[in-house]
Amino acid sequence: VAGGGTLPADLRPRALELAGGHDAHILIVPWASRREEAGSSSAAVWQQAGATEVTVIPDDATEARKAIEDTDLMWLVGGSQVRLMDAFRERDLIEAVRKSHSQGTIIAGTSAGAAVLSHYMMTGKAELKSLTRGSTELVEGLGLWQGVIVDQHFRQRDRLGRLLDRKS
């Protein structure tokens, strides 16, 4: 789980090690991003880290489900966590992701890709300048990490207020 921004140099090599080594199958999920090259650029970074089997998830739901079932490590690219969850929901893939995780697949991400890992995630709708009761909106995430809420870019975007007061 990475909050966003520059990632630690040892993150990808350690993730590869946990996933089974350089030949582990890495699946890039760029659906949170609006950048057209988000998938290919993320795949290139994983390849530079030593991964030999890197693919970008197909848009087709059936092909995407198969890719999820066959991966060792799924990397969720940053962007909008709402957009990412909508993409999983529209393709009916949330249970496939949960099942894959329960069977040992490492599921990791940065920024929005980290925010979706918890049971509840923040949507981005919140009052950040003051503590306004009920201003932080929570919706269902992937539910892979119980008992936590992942808030990305916390210090850089002054997000303490949205953690102190929320609505569910």
DSSP string, 70-134: T-SEEEE-SS-HHHHHHHHHHTT-HHHHHHHHHTT-EEEEBTHHHHTTBSEEE-S----SS--TT
How many alpha carbons fall within 13 Å on the CB side of residue 144? Answer: 25
The string of DSSP codes covering 11-61 is: HHHHHHHHHTSTTSEEEEE-TT---TTHHHHHHHHHHHTT-SEEEEPPSSH
At 42 the pLDDT is 95
Lowest mean pLDDT, pick from 10-14, 50-54, 62-66: 10-14
Specify the DSSP element, H or E, that contains 153. none
Class of residue 94 by CB neighbours under 10 A (exposed 0-12, middle 13-18, buried 19+):
middle
Percent of all residues in the chain with a pLDDT value above 90, rounded to a whole number:
61
pLDDT for the residue numbered 132:
53
pLDDT on residue 167: 47
- How high does pLDDT run on average in the chain? 84
Radius of gyration (C-alpha) of the chain in whole angstroms: 16
The pLDDT score that the predictor gives to residue 133 is 55
In this predicted model, what pLDDT tens digit does every residue of 103-144 receive, in sequence order?
A: 999 999 988 898 899 888 776 554 445 445 555 667 689 999
HSE-CB at 112 with a 13 A cutoff on CA atoms is 19
pLDDT exceeds 50 at position 166: no
pTM score, whole prediction:
0.82
Banded model confidence at residue 24, pLDDT cuts 50, 70, 90: very high
- pLDDT higher at 34 or 164: 34
